[in-house]
Structure 1
Amino acid sequence: MRIVLLFAVLIFFSGISVEAGEITKKSDMYEKRLELYKKTETATGVPWFYIAAVDQYERSIRYVRKDLPKPDGIIGIYIHPEQWKGIANPDKKDINPVTISFFNGLGQDGNGDGIANPNDEEDVLFTIGNYFSKYGVDDTRFRIALWNYYKRDKTVGAIMTNAKIYRKMDRIDLDDKAFPIPKGYNYTYHNTWGDRRGWGGRRMHEGTDIFAGYGAPVRAVAYGVVELKGWNKFGGWRVGIRDLNNTYHYYAHLNGFAKDLKIGKVVKPGDVIGSVGSSGYGPPGTAGKFPPHLHFGMYKDNGINEWAFDPYPHLKAWERVERK
């Protein structure tokens, strides 16, 4: 049972489908999901990629939070019962749009059946779409709406990242992954998660070191947006990219950056973002204190806090897929 659960978590984080039938199912799911987003756009005026961005964010946190129910349908948005029906509403299971509105609840009827059902995907999307439509439909107003709804800057940033990717790619089936070093270059790695690090004080190694020659290309592993680019005394020249699963990918000890790489850029799996080096462990420009390698880390945000997790199983999975 533990092995099955581990495999399921790996599939979620890595976005890898292993059977043709599963790929077909996912294709159908994405088609239906996009259809619902665009139907909500027509009904509320809120662009589909904003709706998709919120839905994907909520789905990503529900898989890693114990205080939220796991998504069991096509749509991942969860509206707390008190928000849905209204805090002062004495009817804990109210599905009447009139009384819900009277108690300032959010719940609305999105499919015209006269019921505001929190388990109906059209009702949920229509409800959240109407909430955002009150603020406006440009990035600035959408940010304000997100802040008022979630009250957390990092959440606002993650959802805006999703929206930027969906708008740029104009689709939502974006599960592809790439190994950070392309085929044709010599590299080696093993699981270095948790190893001791002594420079700058004792600390745990939060990532996997992939050893390769100076100048070997380093690639984005997923669709994402560049959040960070620059120098750190530990990581040297490094890049941070957040993906659609609200996972932050950290690439450190680079020799340099790709010419067109900048903060805010949307990247695809396989896009070159820099090259392998040995920078770090000192002030800007320090290099050569260790063999050239890429430090690759992954960090998960659940809407409350962020933590590092072992990237090694994901690297092995992406590597296997590329070799096939």
Structure 2
Amino acid sequence: MATFRSTISIILVFIFCFHTICSNAHAEETVNPYTEREALYHKMETITNVPWYYLAAVDSYERGLRKARRDRADADGFISIYYAKEDWVGPLNPNQDDESPDTISLFEGIGLDGNGDGKALLTDDEDVLYTLARYLESYGLTEEDFRIALWHFYQREQSVNIVAGHAKVYQHYQTLDLHKHAFVMPLHHNYSYRSTWGDRRGWGGRRIHEGTDIFANYQVPIQSSSYGIVETIGWNPYGGWRVGIRDLDNIYHYYAHLSGFEKGIEKGTIIEAGQLIGYCGSSGYGKPGTQGKFPPHLHYGMYRDNGITEWSFDPFPSLKQWERAAKQAKK
């Protein structure tokens, strides 16, 4: 009888543990990072009066940097803002693992206690976000104040422009869930493409092809693959009439050889995925207005920013993924 009872107890413990593990795993799967982050941004806005979309913009930019740089690991929590440990606790602080706001301040560290638990932790989302919010607040709350604070933070004009662009997009849509994508042409048009990234190009000097060519007829509509903001628009000797859109992952999307732009598209225009931005053409390889030196097609490129420089990467896998998703959505 004792053996039977022991066996039953073991089975019950196993069932309980299994149920707990499954419940926790399910809870982790159902956590919405956008909801969690937005709650943190709004909490800090209430405490500091810094607009939530300023905080979201910096955090989004920093998340993109973590993806682009090998010297930064992915964030452990929901907030991706990066501070070096020596800056957080103070460069002359003998305790580089210091958690006390008082001694951190004494050694001119920047770390602050954002949730009132008496600790300033680099691993605490609220502490990190509060530290950023207080920094931005010290410069003022206008857009110009924001840009000045960003300049002192990053010491790079392009970083300032990217973060300020993110802020405008978040302010416009009033949500964080802006990472959906669309294929760059309507599926009912005839088009063809293959992987051409890295192929040799000769016009204007020896160089590699930094994108994918999608061949289609003149005037086929070109759609934005992402949410973002128009960073560049106009004539480029290589790309002809082109549009450059920066998304919220810091990726620059380059649409070239257009025959023209959709009405209302200009520098600073806020764009959503699938929005019409221009029309397929054969412009480029010469002075403004040059057309017809090659068959009509869209040159589509993607460039990643790492806070120091920017480089191209092969957009073909992304195009295929977005095309498959678009076809699946039509079924």
TM-score, normalization by structure 2: 0.89
CA distance, structure 2, for counterparts of residue 316 and residue 308 of structure 1: 17
Cα distance in 2, alignment partners of residues 132 and 233 from structure 1:
40
Aligned residue in 2 for 1:194: 198
Q: Which runs of 5+ in 1 are unaligned?
A: 1-20
Aligned amino acid, residue 120 of structure 2? A
Deviation at 1:27, TM superposition (A): 6.4
The Cα of 1:69 is off from its aligned counterpart by 2.3
- SS of the residue corresponding to residue 263 of structure 1 reads coil
For 2:82 and 2:282, locate their aligned partners in 1 and report how far apart those are by CA, in whole Å.
Answer: 45
CA deviation profile, 1:262-290 (whole Å, cap 9, x unmatched): 10010000111100000011111110111
Q: Does the Cα contact within 8 Å between 1:117 and 1:123 map onto a contact in 2?
A: yes
Q: What residue identity is the alignment partner of 1:209?
A: D
Q: Distance in 2 between matches of 1:261 and 1:163?
A: 19
Separation in 2 of the partners of 1:60 and 1:257? 29
> Mapping of 1:43-122 within 5 angstroms?
43-122=47-126
Equivalent position of 2:228 in the other structure: 224
Q: In the aligned structure 2, how far is the partner of 1:85 from the partner of 1:101?
A: 8
Moved more, 241-250 or 191-200: 191-200
CA distance in 2, matches of 1:184, 1:68: 43
Matches of 2:293 and 2:59, distance apart in 1: 45
Give the Å deviation of 1:214.
0.3
Q: Are the counterparts in 1 of residues 77 and 123 from structure 2 also a CA contact under 8 Å?
A: no
Give me the whole-angstrom Cα distance separating, in 2, the residues matched to 1:117 and 1:213: 57
Paired amino acid for 1:44? T
CA contact (8 A) 2:212 2:301 kept: yes
Amino acid of the residue matched to residue 74 of structure 2? K
- Opposite residue 144 of structure 1, the aligned amino acid is I
Give the AA of the match of 1:265: T
1:174 maps to 2:178? yes
CA–CA distance in structure 1, aligned partners of residues 268 and 31 of structure 2: 28
Q: Which residue of 2 aligns with 1:39?
A: 43
Q: C-alpha offsets along residues 25-81 of structure 1, whole Å, 9 cap, x if unaligned?
A: 476221111001100111111110000111111111112211122212211111111
What is the aligned length?
303
Alignment check: 8 A CA contact 1:95 1:116 kept: yes
**Corresponding residue to 1:268 among 268, 272, 275:** 272
- Of the three residues 131, 137, 140, the one matched with 2:135 is 131
Mapped partners of 1:271, 1:47: distance in 2: 27
Gaps of 5+ in 2: 1-24
Please, what is the CA RMSD of the aligned residues?
1.4
Which runs of structure 1 show a deviation greater than 4 angstroms over 4 or more consecutive aligned residues? Answer: 24-27
What is the letter of the counterpart of residue 282 of structure 1? G
Q: Aligned partners of 2:29 and 2:303: how far apart in 1?
A: 28
> 86-95 vs 286-295, which deviates more?
86-95
Letter in 1 for 2:103: T
2:312 aligns with 308
Q: 2:144 aligns with which of 137, 140, 145?
A: 140
Q: Distance in 2 between matches of 1:116 and 1:222?
A: 37
Separation in 2 of the partners of 1:76 and 1:306? 20
Q: Say which of 299, 302, 325 aligns to 1:321.
A: 325
d(CA) in 2 for partners of 1:246, 1:266: 15
1:183 paired to 2:191: no
Look up the SS of the partner of 1:63 in the other structure: helix
Give distance in 1, aligned partners of 2:96 and 2:273.
Answer: 46
> Does the aligned pair in 2 maintain the 1:109–1:117 contact within 8 Å?
yes
TM-score, L = length of structure 1: 0.91
- What secondary structure sits across from 2:32 in the alignment? helix
Of 22, 30, 33, the match for 2:34 = 30
> CA separation in 2, counterparts of 1:179 and 1:156?
29
Determine what percentage of the aligned residue pairs are the same residue.
Answer: 54
Q: What is residue 290 of structure 1 aligned with on the other side?
A: 294
The offset of 1:199, in angstroms, is 1.4
Code of the residue aligned with 1:77 in structure 2: it is I
| Worse-superposed segment, 50-59 or 88-97 | 88-97
Distance (Å, rounded) in 1 between the aligned partners of 2:67 and 2:287: 40
CA contact (8 A) 1:52 1:163 kept: yes
Corresponding residue for residue 160 of structure 1: 164
Counterpart of 1:17 in structure 2 is none
Alignment check: 8 A CA contact 2:304 2:310 kept: yes
Q: CA shift at 1:124, angstroms?
A: 0.6
Which of 253, 260, 265 does residue 257 from structure 2 map onto? Answer: 253
SS in 1 for 2:120: coil
Deviations 1:115-171 (A, max 9, x none): 111111111111111111000111100000011111111111111111111001100
